[in-house]
């Protein structure tokens, strides 16, 4: 069995949770949380390292390395098994209730025998909580409400794509207030993570009272959870929690760093501040001796005052970026302005395209692209695919349209990788396309070995220039199918095939973590929207964010090059 880094990281996250419930030393708990984070962010496959190699990773010492190899060899960790035996499984479920943490969960279990969410409901109904130290009637009411919210399936993490609309609407309304100088969403949404747990809104104002009031009273809000001078927490109409923080305009940069996170990134940055004899909070970077504020106005100033380069938000995950920003090795990652074209898009020539070829071409040209590849589905895709005859018809339409546009329209196709790695059409006809992306659309439940084999086989084809949405996942709806990434990266390099970062916010496939491994392996990437409508072309920013999360530079992204680079890439593959 090949364990992935994520499997291993999950074991250590569980150890941390169980230790917390056991009342262990908080710093020891944090050490395990950090280890889990370090494992998840590791660029190399842990199973390829020995214990000495693992200990090289920050946050992993000899004890953790030993437990990792124990897990890789036996599939379990004795310490974790003991912890599980000592803590009722239901207690973990209790800590998922907002407002109920490990200390209270343990107290409820020890004093009242509460070992499940159902047992908690009963205890609250019988008013048995209010006798316990630190708990009173109000706590019972709050927990009862939290439990009823838990009943709605509308809570929990959401695909980022679902949260961004409400976040932008909240910001838009606050921006209209005369008291608001600046407003933006921060948190995991600003880092453009795949899923978000809540919406963090940050505003700058000299008069915060009316700003908090407007937020609380908005018709987008159904419930107010906390209301203070500096912070308001609400539940929005779509069931997502939203926090508003208002700071004085001079603190904007420090607050933005603070509320963008990630938490692990912030901890690392603040530790760095402490080592330099300073202290960093949401109001600024301070000299604790004199109380003098060294930096706070904008993000770049705050990072610079600590001797660091500005870190793009998607990279702020404590995956080595703090150290790199400090020692000058942070790569200049790809930016939206670097993107010269898009290499995966559809028109209504294929059944699922929602706009005409002309509308798509016009929209792509308006974005200033030098080229846009129309990659309608090929004949093997039931319902939506184009026969050879229809493709030839489309060729005429492209040629006619090309006369009116300076932007190069690349005649492309999205090919279907069949069970054995074969693709649509015959080799001669395929050779007449400018650009082909090949994707898996069927048989998604095959084993990892079979999926890997069929994708590697498809890459051998001289007319397969890129592999589309490599894992097939739909965030929040369909898990990725299994693949052996190392084998695929090696084959991509050998066959000179690009791997697509699908920019659709529902896919983001490759993930940021996979991008980073592809970058380390030297594989060429594309960032493409897989647009099925004009509006989809705006998703490019999500693909760029995912590339940044994976530390990709513009020179590694094929469509950050000019048209000649695309043509010489396909030419090289052909020969």
Q: Which is nearer to DNA, 280 or 295 (CB)?
A: 280
Interaction between residue 267 and DNA (CB under 7 A)? yes
Q: Residue 240 — left, alpha, or beta (φ > 0 → left; ψ -120 to 50 → alpha)?
A: beta
Interaction between residue 329 and DNA (CB under 7 A)? no
| Of the residues 138, 153, 176, 477, which one makes contact with DNA according to CB under 7 A | 138
Smallest gap, in angstroms, from Cβ of residue 26 to DNA? 8
Interaction between residue 396 and DNA (CB under 7 A)? no
* Residues β-bridged to residue 500: 526
Interaction between residue 266 and DNA (CB under 7 A)? yes
- Between vectors from CA 189 to CA 27 and to CA 172, what angle results, nearest 5°? 135
Interface mask toward DNA for 48-87; x: CB under 7 A: -------x--xxxxxxxx----------------------
**Dist. CA 188–CA 148, nearest whole Å:** 26
The structure tokens listed for 172 are 């838009």
Rounded to the nearest angstrom, the gap between the alpha carbon of residue 162 and the centroid of all alpha carbons in its chain is: 13
| Of the residues 8, 9, 18, 35, which one makes contact with DNA according to CB under 7 A | 35
The structure tokens listed for 452 are 């890997």
Smallest gap, in angstroms, from Cβ of residue 426 to DNA? 56
Determine the size of the site formed for DNA (CB under 7 A): 64
Of 164-172, 225-233, 441-449, 535-543, which part binds DNA (CB under 7 A)?
225-233
Q: Which is nearer to DNA, 247 or 545 (CB)?
A: 247
Residue whose token pair is 């770049």: 300
Interaction between residue 176 and DNA (CB under 7 A)? no
User: What DSSP assignment string belongs to 67-83?
Assistant: HHHHHHHHSS-HHHHHH
Q: Which is nearer to DNA, 149 or 263 (CB)?
A: 263
**Dist. CA 44–CA 238, nearest whole Å:** 39
| Of the residues 2, 28, 329, 447, which one makes contact with DNA according to CB under 7 A | 28
Interaction between residue 92 and DNA (CB under 7 A)? no
Smallest gap, in angstroms, from Cβ of residue 332 to DNA? 22
Interaction between residue 271 and DNA (CB under 7 A)? yes
Interface mask toward DNA for 226-255; x: CB under 7 A: xxxxxx---------x-x------------
Interaction between residue 130 and DNA (CB under 7 A)? yes
Q: 69 — phi, psi (to 5°)?
A: -70, -30
Interaction between residue 281 and DNA (CB under 7 A)? yes
| Of the residues 37, 40, 187, 385, which one makes contact with DNA according to CB under 7 A | 187
Q: Which of 71, 80, 129 is nearest to 105 (CA)?
A: 129
Q: How many CA atoms lie within 13 A of 524 on its CB side?
A: 19
**325 burial level (CB within 10 Å; 0-12, 13-18, 19+):** buried
Interaction between residue 200 and DNA (CB under 7 A)? yes
Q: Three-state secondary structure along 34-60?
A: HHHHHHHHCCCCHHHCCHHHHHCCCCC
Interaction between residue 280 and DNA (CB under 7 A)? yes
Interaction between residue 105 and DNA (CB under 7 A)? yes
**Dist. CA 341–CA 346, nearest whole Å:** 14
Q: Which is nearer to DNA, 278 or 455 (CB)?
A: 278
Q: Which is nearer to DNA, 113 or 131 (CB)?
A: 131
Interaction between residue 156 and DNA (CB under 7 A)? no
Of 22-30, 447-455, 503-511, 556-564, which part binds DNA (CB under 7 A)?
22-30
DSSP state for residue 468 in the 8-state scheme: -
Q: Which is nearer to DNA, 162 or 450 (CB)?
A: 162
Any residues with CB less than 8 A from the CB of 416 and at least 6 apart, and which?
377, 378, 380, 381, 385, 423, 424, 438, 439, 440, 441, 442
- Between vectors from CA 481 to CA 478 and to CA 484, what angle results, nearest 5°? 150
Residues that bind DNA (CB under 7 A): 25, 27-28, 30-32, 34-35, 55, 58-65, 95, 97-105, 130, 133-140, 142, 187, 197-198, 200, 226-231, 241, 243, 259, 261, 263, 266-267, 270-271, 273-275, 277, 279-282
């Amino acid at each position: 069995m090949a364990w992935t880094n994520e499997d291993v990281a999950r074991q250590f996250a569980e150890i941390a949770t169980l230790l917390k419930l056991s009342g262990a030393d908080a710093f020891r708990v944090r050490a395990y949380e950090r280890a889990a984070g370090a494992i998840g962010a590791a660029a190399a496959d842990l199973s390829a390292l020995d214990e000495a190699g693992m200990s090289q990773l920050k946050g992993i010492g000899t004890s953790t390395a030993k437990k990792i190899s124990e897990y890789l060899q036996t599939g379990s960790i004795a310490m974790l098994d003991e912890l599980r035996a000592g803590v009722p499984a239901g207690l973990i479920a209790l800590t998922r209730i907002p407002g109920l943490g490990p200390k209270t969960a343990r107290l409820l279990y020890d004093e009242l025998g509460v070992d499940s969410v159902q047992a908690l409901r009963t205890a609250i109904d019988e008013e048995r909580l209010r006798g316990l130290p630190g708990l009173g009637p109000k706590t019972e009411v709050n927990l009862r409400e939290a439990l009823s919210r838990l009943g709605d399936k509308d809570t929990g993490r959401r695909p980022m794509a679902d949260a961004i609309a409400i976040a932008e609407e909240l910001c838009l309304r606050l921006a209209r207030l005369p008291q608001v100088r600046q407003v933006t969403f921060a948190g995991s949404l600003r880092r453009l993570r795949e899923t978000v747990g809540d919406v963090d809104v940050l505003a700058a104002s000299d008069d915060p009272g009316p700003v908090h009031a407007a937020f609380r009273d908005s018709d987008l809000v159904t419930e107010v959870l906390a209301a203070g001078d500096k912070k308001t927490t609400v539940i929005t109409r779509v069931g997502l929690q939203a926090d508003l923080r208002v700071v004085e305009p001079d603190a904007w940069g420090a607050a933005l760093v603070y509320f963008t996170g990630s938490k692990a990134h912030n901890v690392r940055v603040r530790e760095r501040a402490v080592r330099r004899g300073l202290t960093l909070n949401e109001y600024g970077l301070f000299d604790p001796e004199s109380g003098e504020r060294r930096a706070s106005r904008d993000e770049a100033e705050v990072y610079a005052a600590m001797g660091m380069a500005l870190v793009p938000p998607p990279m702020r995950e404590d995956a080595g970026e703090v150290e790199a920003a400090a020692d000058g090795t942070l790569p200049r990652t790809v930016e939206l302005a670097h993107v010269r074209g898009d290499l995966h898009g559809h028109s209504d020539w294929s059944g699922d395209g929602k706009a005409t070829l002309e509308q798509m071409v016009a929209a792509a040209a308006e974005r200033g692209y030098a080229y846009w590849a129309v990659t309608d589905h090929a004949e093997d895709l039931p319902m939506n695919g184009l026969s050879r005859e229809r493709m030839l018809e489309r060729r005429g339409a492209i040629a006619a349209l090309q006369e009116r546009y300076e932007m190069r329209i690349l005649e492309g196709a999205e090919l279907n990788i069949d069970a054995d790695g074969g693709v649509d059409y015959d080799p001669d006809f395929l050779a007449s396309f400018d650009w082909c992306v090949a994707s898996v659309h069927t048989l998604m439940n095959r084993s990892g070995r079979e999926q890997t084999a069929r994708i590697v086989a498809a890459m051998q084809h001289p007319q397969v220039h890129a592999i589309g949405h490599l894992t097939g996942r739909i965030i929040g709806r369909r898990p990725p199918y299994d693949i052996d990434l190392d084998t695929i990266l090696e084959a991509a390099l050998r066959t000179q095939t690009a791997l697509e970062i699908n920019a659709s916010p529902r896919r983001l496939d490759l993930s940021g973590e996979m991008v980073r491994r592809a970058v380390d392996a030297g594989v060429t990437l594309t960032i493409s929207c897989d647009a099925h409508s004009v509006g989809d072309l705006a998703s490019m920013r999500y693909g760029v964010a995912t590339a940044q999360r994976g530390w990709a530079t513009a020179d590694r992204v094929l469509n950050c090059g000019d048209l000649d680079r695309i043509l010489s890439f396909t030419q090289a593959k052909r020969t």
